[in-house]
Amino acid sequence: MHRADHRPSRRTFLDVSSAMVVAGLTAGCTSDSARPGRHAPSAAAAPVPVPATGRHQAGVTLPQPAQRNLLAVVADLAAATAPGPLLAELGQTIRTLVAGTDPRLLGLPPGDLTVTVGVGPRLVRAAGASLPGATDLPRFSRERINPRERGGDLLIQICAGDALLLPVVAAALLDQAGDRIHERWRQSARRGTNVPIGNGLTAPRNPLGFIDGIVGPHTDAEQRRDLWLAGPAAVTGGTLAVLRRMELDLPRFAALSVAGQEAVFGRRRASGVPLSGGTISSGPELGAKTPDGRYLVPADAHVRRANPTVVGAGLMLRRSYSTDGPAPGLLFISFQNDLRTFTATLTHMDASDALLRYTTTTASATFLILPGFDRQHPLGSRLFG
């Protein structure tokens, strides 16, 4: 679902019960970093509630394994709107929605609902020009982006195992915000079933059929190094998010042989094993060659061009979601504690990455995902208090 120019009102959530039946939303929000020893529950298992409060906001690394459904809403603050009081209200509403006590849930159980809130560079700069998250995302090649779908002041990421919750929760939050925000665009998306990748970790397949999210900050040490912000105090415990919505040229990609598709990614489609051999969790041996001198992992393969060691950047918690529309699409979200991790990677990919030949970016934004909150410390209070 993709809708722009939406102005929230109290009528919104009253109309949503019929809208959600028509929409039949299915979307994806699956964490890429399930901890060793944790296994996905069976389809019949009741979802486990996820606390809304804590050091970090839910919806980045928690729950694990994570929900399959996502709705991202990007909005701007109206003129003269103070972000502090608005964010505090949204945080309180998130708490009541997750607890199941908000009547705007229309009787739906919240289950494993999470809501994650981020603020865009304009708001971050107003709080401090040198803060992480104050830099706008640059422009890259293969973009066809409407001005309303580039940037934004506010991100509301809603994830749940029950897809019917997504429009209901969005309507409640937009109703709470009232005329203080104006929606730019929204995107629902979904992910497939997770595939085991070893050491208790799982990753789903992306819309091109390949296992996605094999490489990332999976351990606590990696997450402290590459995912979570360690300072200044106003942002400690937060992270930086990048959203990129793309159209995919699936017919042209599907016309390749399996070997051709594998050369684009640098991994086996069925197993996820690098073309240089090993196991799915093995790092590709980028120097490995055939007897006649050809690289086993082609020079323009995605795993080579996006390799953190080659790029000289940290790890990203990467997620790819399937979207519907006039053309098949993908919603890419990455979390990292340094925006350069993303920008340097995509700059290196822009030069020569075979995967980009099959993508056109139609929306792009970056946000500071605020630190966690609780009753004593409202959402956004350390940045805008």
**Chunked mean pLDDT (size 10), the chain, 385 residues:** 43 41 36 42 74 97 89 97 98 98 98 98 98 98 97 98 97 98 97 86 92 93 98 98 98 98 98 96 94 96 96 95 89 97 97 96 98 97 95
Q: Are 113 and 158 a contacting pair, CB within 8 Å?
A: yes
- Is 43 part of a structural domain of the chain? no
Domain membership of residue 228 (yes or no) is yes
Element (H, E) at 333: strand 329-336
Number of domains in the chain: 1
Residue 307 belongs to some domain of the structure: yes
First-residue to last-residue Cα distance in the chain: 35
Q: Strand (E) positions, 124-268?
A: 154-160, 181-190, 194-198, 201-204, 239-248
- Do 72 and 155 form a contact (C-beta atoms < 8 A)? yes
Q: Find the angle CA(189)-CA(190)-CA(191) to the nearest 5 degrees.
A: 140
For residue 293, is it within any domain?
A: yes
Domain that holds residue 79: 10-36+48-384
pLDDT at 44: 57
pLDDT at 18: 39
pLDDT of 1? 42
| Nearest of 174, 72, 66, 75 to residue 113 by alpha carbon | 66
Whether residue 364 lies inside any domain: the answer is: yes
User: Does residue 5 fall inside a structural domain?
Assistant: no
Q: Which amino acid is at 288?
A: A
Q: Give the pLDDT score at 201.
A: 85
Whether 20 is in a domain gets the answer yes
- Of 155, 161, 170, 159, the C-alpha closest to 15 is 170
Coil, strand or helix: which one is 251? helix
Strand partners, 322: 190, 330
Pick from 132, 135, 339: which is nearest to 236 by CA? 132
246 in a structural domain = yes
Residue 22 confidence (pLDDT)? 35
Under DSSP, is residue 79 helix (H, G, I), strand (E, B) or coil? coil
Q: What pLDDT sits at residue 205? A: 93
Task: Report pTM.
Answer: 0.89
**Which residues share a beta bridge with 202?**
196
